[in-house]
Amino acid sequence: MTNGWSVARALTDPGSVAALDATGWTHLLSAARALSLIGTLAEVLADAPIPPDVARVFADVRHSNVAGQRQALWEAECARMALAEYPGRVVLLKGTAFAAAGYDAALGRSIGDLDILVDRGGLDQVEGLLLEAGWEWVKPDPYDDAYYREWMHELPPLIHAERDRMIDVHHTILPLTAGPTPDAAALIADARALPSGLYALSPADIICHAAAHLIADGDLSGGMRNLWDIDRLVRQFVVEEEGFSETLAERAKLHGLTDAVGRALRLSAQLFGTPIVFRRKSESRANAAQSDPGLGLSPENSRVSTSDTLFLRRITAVDGWGRKTRKLTRQGFYIRSHLLRMPPAMLARHLWTKWRKGHRG
């Protein structure tokens, strides 16, 4: 039976695809597409022996990869030019940041919207400059607009009229109604300069953001891709960044994301064999003796909990037709995503407003 695990296996053990027949390939490709991992799969299997019809599909996908990343970087450049007058830092987030920083996680990654982070105090200026440069509002609905501005971690999405590309302007990395309150000022202060003059989050903060997005925010619909990002980034940072485990533990604590980062790392270790298990600061000294340089392996922390299993069930819920499966599990996580974002009374008010709108047509 094809599901998310089949895609994880092909990504982590490219040799394993040699055993696939035509049906196996067909299902793998559809599942990978549905999980937004087809671009990655095409790059990972670039040198693996694959049947000719699969090679043709991958060739198309790899063309799209190149064009997609070029477009994403161009969009970032357009934003940089539009925001030239803004004196603060403009920090790229997610896929565009990986591509701009040349991280391994960018390989084959699809990039949709442009996500940037700026200081909350500069939001008005940034918004004004973007509107001047040809971006416009996507959601004209006053309730949605007000909701975004009051409670969300980003402005309502803007779209560029000519290039038809969206930009999400963040002032922090989690909705203001969520439990943890990441230190947005520290995120911006620690960001690293890119050659273009834009910034990317520091390596540890990139992991914190990815984990926050995955565990403490949405309904996990992009979970596999998200965890693959984390896997690739961690593998790279463990080698390239001195004391990465410790830094990550400190930053996660600072942002109130210790649980989310721990969970994300356990899940990516399960799916992709990510060679690190996150430790809390207090445990690091005790385990220091047995750990490899940069790797903090603690059996206690790496144990997979029942709820982890539930997360994995949700994240891998796809079939060989690219359909979402396990409806109940998915619905459970959908409800969870709303509960995470809003206290019950607020959620009830929100759903009531949305329901009435729906019935007005």
Partner 1 sequence: MRHSCFITVGPARFRIGSDWRAPIDQLRQLYSDYPLDEGVPDFTVRLQATSALRRVVRPQVAIAGDFTLPDAVPLPLEQGLLAAEMAMNLQMALGWRRHLLLHASAVSRNGRAVIMTGVSGAGKSTLSALLGERGWRFLGDEFVLLDPDTGMIVPFPRPVSLKNTAISAMEREVDDDTRFGPVMRDTPKGTIRHLRPRTEAVQLMARETRPALLLFPRFGYPRAVRRVDEAESFVRLTQASTNYVALGERGFDALTGFVRAMSACAIDYADGEEGVEMVERLWSEQGAKTGARAAAA
Residue among 25, 137, 148, 334 that touches partner 1 (CB under 8 A): 25
Task: For partner 1, give the closer residue by CB, 27 or 235.
Answer: 27
CA 105/CA 231 separation, integer angstroms: 8
Specify whether the CB–CB gap between 42 and 108 falls below 8 A: yes
Q: Does 64 bind partner 1 (CB under 8 A)?
A: yes
Among 5, 12, 26, 298, binds partner 1 (CB under 8 A): 26
User: Is residue 84 near partner 1 by the rule CB under 8 A?
Assistant: no
With residue 141 as reference, give the H or E element that holds it: none
- Spatial CA neighbour of 302 closest among 321, 272, 277: 277
Interface residue with partner 1 among 7, 8, 10, 29 (CB under 8 A) is: 29
* Among residues 303, 323, 354, 356, the one that binds partner 1 under rule CB under 8 A: 323
Q: Work out whether 281 is an interface residue with partner 1 (CB under 8 A).
A: no
Query: CB of 22: closest distance to partner 1 in angstroms?
Result: 5
Q: Binding of partner 1 at residue 53 (CB under 8 A)?
A: yes
Mark 3-20 as b/e (b = at least 16 C-beta within 10 Å). bbbbbbebbeebeebeeb
Instruction: Choose among 52, 242, 90, 264: nearest CA to 169.
Output: 90
Site for partner 1, residues 283 to 322, rule: CB under 8 A: 321-322
Q: Is the CB of 25 or the CB of 147 nearer to partner 1? A: 25
Min CB(90)–partner 1 separation in Å: 26
Q: How far is the CB of 151 from partner 1 (least distance, A)?
A: 24
Regarding 33 and contact with partner 1 (CB under 8 A), the answer is yes
357 is an interface residue for partner 1 by CB under 8 A:
no
Nearest to 252 by CA among 275, 232, 281: 281
> Does residue number 37 form part of the binding site for partner 1 (CB under 8 A)?
no
Hey, which residues does 136 pair with through a beta bridge? Answer: 159
Give the integer Cα–Cα distance in Å for 37 and 35.
5
Nearer to partner 1, 67 or 239 (CB): 67
List the 192-193 sheet strands across, edge first: 135-137, 158-160, 166-170, 114-117, 91-92, 199-200, 192-193
Q: Rule CB under 8 A: which residues touch partner 1? A: 22-23, 25-26, 29-30, 33, 51, 53-54, 56-57, 59-60, 63-64, 66-67, 70, 321-323
